[in-house]
Amino acid sequence: MSNIETKLNELQPFSPPNATDEMLRSEDLYRRGIAKYTQRIADTKRNSEASLAVVERRLMDEFDRHNQTVNALQQEMETIKQDMGKAIAADTRLLAAVQAALDMLTNDAT
């Protein structure tokens, strides 16, 4: 007898499953599938919410930085306008003084 024939003789014959056992096995598979996919849905929601919270925090930080930059630029513009007003006022006074001096010279000459 060959080795293969010995192994074949040692095998237990396969008995076909009965309908009740097969139904119970199928129900168990479906229940495990339901549990698996329910858990995956919960995990996806939890992970997505955590990711959204991180991105939302980054967005708020970016808004804060943006607002700080805008405020700094507005302050810079206000400073430039104030400096411009002071310079124009000073030059206006100088213009008036020079104009008055010219008027005095031209009035004296006539």
What backbone torsions phi and psi does residue 10 show, to the nearest 5 degrees?
-80, -20
Is position 68 within any domain?
yes
How far is 5 from 52, CA to CA, in rounded Å?
64
Assigned domain for 44 exists: yes
Is residue 1 a part of any domain in this protein? Answer: no
| Alpha carbon distance 7, 110 (integer Å) | 140
Q: What local confidence, expressed as pLDDT, does residue 49 receive?
A: 97
What are 21-68's pLDDT values in tens digits? Answer: 889 999 999 999 999 999 999 999 999 999 999 999 999 999 999 999
Q: Is residue 52 included in any domain, yes or no? A: yes
2 vs 70, higher pLDDT = 70
The answer to pTM > 0.85 is: no
Task: Locate 89 and state its tokens.
Answer: 């006022």
What per-residue confidence (pLDDT) applies to 108? Answer: 74
Gap between the Cα atoms of 94 and 86, Å rounded: 12
Q: Is the pLDDT of residue 93 over 90?
A: yes
In a domain? residue 4: no
Report the C-alpha gap between 89 and 100 in whole angstroms.
16
pLDDT value of residue 9: 66
User: What is the structure's pLDDT at 107?
Assistant: 86
How many domains are contained in the chain?
1
| 105 found inside a domain | yes
Q: Does a structural domain hold residue 31?
A: yes
Tens digit of pLDDT for each residue in 60-89?
999 999 999 999 999 999 999 999 999 999
Residue 32 is part of which domain span? 17-109
